[in-house]
Structure 1
């Protein structure tokens, strides 16, 4: 049995706890022994993106101490994985934490990447009836180089028809503090993404970043549109009770 350490980002911990529990279920279904350190907090991405690198480094030092470098670290968030793999270069290169950081960077995985490329497992008996589009988050696509992995996993979901939409690789407009500082632009980008999904008659917008889903779901609810967002993990654990 593969022992993995689970990293649940603060965003999911606070707003989408069900996705966190489903991540555990999915990893266990994949044959993993899941270890969760309850002392873990944030990877430091919000401070880093806002330019507060000294504060981000303090948070990052705690992150490096919270995880065992000997085991794979798996997270249902491409943006947080991207932060550790990339942002930590700025914070810890040639520092006292340099070697620990490099070991963690080599050993942290977004969950679809881990399931498909490390465990080489794609079918989990999930069922979800409807048409869906997969939203390529900027972090997943550009930082983690993840594109085909989520699609391969979704192709095995019973009843789900996965289609592509216009502007497939366009940003949803969240971008952390960007959505606050540039609300008008951010909302217009969300509108474009949601309308593109509705053009292909999608019932669901699926992604591996909850921050993107929060952004899109807010627009959907404000305008009362007949479409729903779902995290990839929640899709892959759908319908298990019916099997």
Structure 2
């Protein structure tokens, strides 16, 4: 009998919900669960999970980050995969946890083991599960922003577009500077607010120029940053996490605005 985790079985996935999804946009978490189940996974949401520690790490507080990282490692070790609807959180665990424990052999081994089975949601659906959404309809136009961490740390670029190509009625329009930072950068937008505002202002202008009904992406921090700017500029562009579209959870909101 093949081991659990084989594509023919139901891998046990621990969903790392992320702080922003939990506190600001739970709909993204529900959509992630639906998509993972549709892809044949057994999904669990461990209640002991906490922040991944990225804000502290990005601020140079490694000593404060390590206890957080240890908690995450211990919580998600039992699962076949850790999957997060966020390139930045998944990138933190996959790329930076091993850095945190470079001088601690025991925890380095555990960090590397978790990193090896950590994935961003959209990349996991395509690269690991070979998933393609079925019978999803969204009659609207959209443009797509590639978040820095997902793109540069995890190589998530083609996967969301492959998934969205299966959505009936969805027109995906090119975005100038689609790979350019939106100006969020976690604590960057707080420390350097003037620079951040200038960056997101240019991004918002490019989004509006597409004439698309929606802006999509895979990282809620970026999406909230851009949604805020678009709203302040009076744009009617709706902003959604790609998982919400793929799970059919954004269509009602779009219809109400039509």
The TM-score normalised by the length of structure 1 is: 0.95
Give 1:2 shift. 2.5
SS at 2:194 equivalent:
helix
2:218 aligned to which of 196, 205, 208: 208
Worse-matched range after superposition: 133-142 or 118-127: 118-127
- Residue 88 of structure 2 is matched in structure 1 by 79
Give the paired residue count. 242
Point out 4+ residue stretches in structure 1 off by more than 3 angstroms. Answer: 239-242
Instruction: Provide the rounded CA distance (Å) in 1 between the counterparts of 2:45 and 2:62.
Output: 27
* 1:133 and 1:202 in contact (8 A); partners too: yes
Q: Measure the CA separation in 2 of the matches of 1:7 and 1:200.
A: 33
Tell me the SS of whatever aligns to 1:97: helix
Q: Distance in 2 between matches of 1:145 and 1:69?
A: 26
Q: 1:104 to 1:199 in 2, by over 3 A?
A: same
- Measure the CA separation in 2 of the matches of 1:70 and 1:219: 38
Aligned mate of 1:134, from 144, 163, 168: 144
- Give me the whole-angstrom Cα distance separating, in 1, the residues matched to 2:148 and 2:77: 28
Q: 2:48 aligns with which of 39, 51, 54?
A: 39
SS, match of residue 156 in structure 1: coil
Q: Matches of 2:251 and 2:94 in 1, distance apart?
A: 36
- Where 2:202 maps in the other structure, the secondary structure is helix
Contact 1:174 1:186 in 2 (8 A): yes
Alignment of 1:74-223 (within 5 A): 74-95=83-104, 96-223=106-233
2:76 aligns to what?
A: 67
- Cα-Cα RMSD: 1.6
Q: State the Cα deviation string for residues 103-129 of structure 1 (Å, max 9, x = none).
A: 100001101111101011122332222
Once residues 69 and 162 of structure 1 are traced to their aligned partners in structure 2, the CA distance between those partners, rounded to angstroms, is: 38
Instruction: Verify the 8 A CA contact 1:4 1:33 in the aligned structure 2.
Output: yes
What's the secondary structure of 2:130's corresponding residue?
A: coil
Alpha-carbon shift at residue 89 of structure 1 (Å):
2.2
CA distance in 2 between counterparts of 1:209 and 1:62 reads 23
| Mapped partners of 2:250, 2:206: distance in 1 | 30
Q: Is the 8 A contact 2:88 2:149 kept in 1?
A: yes
Contact map agreement 2:208 2:235 (CA 8 A) in 1: no
The one-character-per-residue Cα deviations of 1:58-113 (angstroms, maximum 9, x if unpaired) are: 10011101112551111101100111111112211241211111110000110111
Q: Give the conservation status (yes or no) of the 8 Å contact 1:4–1:74.
A: yes
Contact in 2 for aligned 1:207/1:213 (Cα 8 Å): yes
